[in-house]
Amino acid sequence: MTTEHVNCLIIGSGPAGYTAAIYASRAGMKPVLYQGMQPGGQLTITNEVDNFPGYPEGVNGPQLMMDLEQQARRFGADIRYGVVTAVDFSGPMHKAVVDDQQEISANVVIISTGASAKWLGLPSEMRLNGLGVSACAVCDGFFFRGKDVAIVGAGDTAAEEASYLANLCRKVYMIVRRGEMRASKFMQNRVKSLPNIEILWNTETLEVLGEDGVTGALVKNAVTGEERVLDISGFFVAIGHQPNTAIFKNYLELDETGYIITEKGSTRTNVPGVFACGDAQDNIYRQAITAAGTGCMAALDAERYLAMKEVEMHAEA
């Protein structure tokens, strides 16, 4: 296994990682960024992004990520293909293994591995992803104004997104697998009070219909066995996200769902010199712009940490 030492290692790309690379490069930290299994993150499978500042006509997700990557490269960021498969944060020097072949040691580490939406696992759902199937109502609901849509889920996030869609869409079918919801009473009452939301209890989705875009969903009532087709243009999945943080669990404090815990008002983790940004530590907002903001914060926090360590080193000398 080959070894290499870097000053600043960024694990993961997307808005958080690329923004961290931009700021770290401009600060002279010479960052090395490994893009991970999905270079550019979740936005690379998003067709249209209308809510990222600076694009008055909107931009497609892959183009936005290419723009951010090119901006980071312009300032000297060393952006590489590769997946960090293991880490060791037990010593004073932080270590990471890339593709099980190379060991990288770093003075500071910025984690921007993101989170992945949980899906139902239907082939048609995957085929129509970005063509009417979405895991983010706030991101994509705008494109379905005045149309009929469906959303799957029974928790607070699903209820909140159903309410959001109800303000935009003509009709919202909320598909709930059981005869009750996991959402808080407040959120349940909110959903039930909206006249254009129809809750389909004890219902599962069999297939998302459509060739070049969503035209409907085939659902089945688990109690009666009745199948019906919902005439919809959009199909939203809100059954949760899984943060991509498993390789850090032996070293970093995670919450009960796997999100990295950071100090309030910063990106600092429980390990000095290790910082987390983007959806890997954000289980609330999960937006491209908030991810970019925390990427900026992580680079600034890392820069201050390095400056502090340099002062301490000179004081000891």
Contact 86, 97 (CB under 8 A): yes
Candidates 88, 100, 136, 148; catalytic one = 136
Pick from 97, 232, 102, 107: nearest CA to 175: 232
Candidates 8, 78, 88, 139; catalytic one = 139
Question: Residues with Cβ < 8 Å from 146, sequence gap 6 or more?
Answer: 168, 169, 170
Task: Reduce the DSSP state of residue 141 to 3 states and report it.
Answer: helix
Q: Is 136 a catalytic residue?
A: yes
Candidates 78, 88, 100, 140; catalytic one = 140
Task: Reduce the DSSP state of residue 32 to 3 states and report it.
Answer: strand
Place of tokens 């983010």: 136
Kindly report the number of other CB atoms within 10 A of residue 72's CB atom. 26
Q: Is 140 a catalytic residue?
A: yes
Dihedral sign for Cα 121, 122, 127, 129, please: negative
Burial of 193 (0-12, 13-18, 19+ CB in 10 A): exposed
Task: Reduce the DSSP state of residue 309 to 3 states and report it.
Answer: helix
Positions annotated as catalytic residues are 136, 139-140
